[in-house]
Structure 1
Amino acid sequence: MKRYILHTPFSIYHFEAATWDHSVHKHTYFEIIFILKGSGIHRINGNAFQYAESDVFLLGPEDFHHFDIQELTEFSFVRFNESIHKQLPGDKDRPWQPIIRTLLNTSSQSRGSIVADKQEKQKLHHLLAVLEAESSDDQSQYFEVIRDGLMRSMLIILARNLFSQTQSRPVRKDSIEAILMYIRQHIYRPEDLTIERLAEHFHYAPAYISLFFKKQTGESLKQYIIRHKIKLIEARLLYSQLTLSEIADEFGYTDESHLCKQFRKYTGTTPIAFRMRV
């Protein structure tokens, strides 16, 4: 399956289409998809969702999708990497930081369009209009500050809507989606991602949860966790100034050497070489 790559922390792609020319694909980034007009079917992770004007979708790096366009559709794709919401000095105690982190590490796509309320959709589309206008002058000294404020507001509104949906339509605790959600939420705590801990949390035998995960995803539980972690580390290397020691500490590695060894095993290159190649 093709994987699209974003080489900058942020971009907006606004276009109209009568037919969808892209094959089913994944990304290395997140994207908020706005439907400005038109209708059709949005196929996400094997599920089909009818879409219409003003719908809003949020996709993460592991989501795969494509559109079946039934009526000429105007799209706006807001694409961004995790680094755009990097924690700055003084941010640690800001209440929106954990909300955004939880949103980006929560599987949202078995629910289709995140926002149902008309007024909530209007708020998001107004923010999009301002964001697109500001992006036309992205060399301005004020652009990044304005962009980050607008993006933060968008994501908080999406989180508010997604989490209210989650409360009214809870994910089954024994579903593969629940396991994937748990992994994404605990990816920085390796002690919570052992087979034994996962089996205990989901009330499965350790051997069974491994077989269940492999059957549902085609990949072993251990391999999925490592590859998801490596994907996040690649984003840190490309879009942050964190040292290898700081990255190793963030992701729970015993030391920098352990991080380098595992990174090279799964990517074929060292973290330093990966960071310097762009």
Structure 2
Amino acid sequence: MAYPDPLNQYLVADNALIHDLMNDKSSKYAYIVFQTLADGMTNGYINLLHILAKRDKDEYDDFQVQRLAGLLLTELLHQHRQKISKSRSNFPRKNVRHANRDAQSGAIMTYLTQKNGQVSLKEAAEYFGYQANYFSRLCRKLFATDFVHLRRNIRINLAEDQLLLTNKKLEEIADELGYQDLSSFSKAFAESTGFSPGKYRKKYGIKTSR
């Protein structure tokens, strides 16, 4: 889809997060994951875009697609903090010093997720160009938790994805996420979710046919 460069309010409602994301040229593959969407407006815009995608386009269709996509994004931005999965999105920024709060937290979550939560406070602070103490305070301000718990929550989110979407052995998942052994992984996972990894997979994971 073609859109104005730089992106302007005519296409998408005035939201710093979307504007920062779409106007940032530092990463080719930047995206935001919106989840738990069940509203009719969102589905309506998607259905209309699907109809337009299936027919031979002319200049009028291109105009409609651009406007509908802008309306879809605008609809998604209603209460966007409850809809966006920052651990599953890919925010492009490395220099977050002057970014808005959502872009800052998104970029930090992207970096920590790409590292599987296995990065020290000092390493993360240096990546973003901060002193460790300041970066620690910034994380607490953005996420209402300290760096250690933020990193743990990311590892648990990644573990949930692995349990839901793959058939990897529990030991393999634990090793990929940097746990010393299966026992420590199971304990941390149960403390966070209320389920052991095995029970979580059995209750919510993919169903395979025999």
TM-score, length-scaled by structure 1: 0.40
Counterpart residue type for residue 172 of structure 1: N
Identity of aligned residues (%): 24
Give the Cα–Cα distance (whole angstroms) in 1 for the partners of residues 17 and 176 of structure 2: 34
Counterparts of 1:1-278 in structure 2, within 5 Å, are 47=17, 58-60=31-33, 74-76=44-46, 172-174=95-97, 176-177=104-105, 178-186=107-115, 188=116, 190=118, 193-278=119-204
Give the Cα–Cα distance (whole angstroms) in 2 for the partners of residues 43 and 232 of structure 1: 32
Give the Cα–Cα distance (whole angstroms) in 2 for the partners of residues 64 and 172 of structure 1: 30
Counterpart residue type for residue 74 of structure 1: G
Cα deviation per residue 1:62-100 (whole Å; 9 max; x = unaligned)? x79999x7xx983228xxxxxxxxxxxxxxxxxxxxxxx
Give the Cα–Cα distance (whole angstroms) in 2 for the partners of residues 185 and 228 of structure 1: 10
Structure 2: state its 5+ residue gaps. Answer: 1-9, 20-29, 48-61, 70-89, 205-210
Structure 1: state its 5+ residue gaps. Answer: 1-38, 50-56, 78-117, 126-161
Counterpart residue type for residue 76 of structure 1: I
Distance change >3 Å, CA 197–CA 249, structure 1 → 2: same
1:201 CA drift (Å): 2.4
Distance change >3 Å, CA 43–CA 237, structure 1 → 2: farther
Deviation beyond 3 Å, 4+ runs, structure 1: 39-44, 46-49, 63-67
Give the Cα–Cα distance (whole angstroms) in 2 for the partners of residues 74 and 179 of structure 1: 33
Give the Cα–Cα distance (whole angstroms) in 1 for the partners of residues 13 and 135 of structure 2: 31
1:60 CA drift (Å): 2.2
1:256 CA drift (Å): 1.0
Give the aligned partner of residue 24 of structure 1.
none
Cα deviation per residue 1:3-52 (whole Å; 9 max; x = unaligned)? xxxxxxxxxxxxxxxxxxxxxxxxxxxxxxxxxxxx986687x7477xxx
Flag the structure with higher strand content: 1
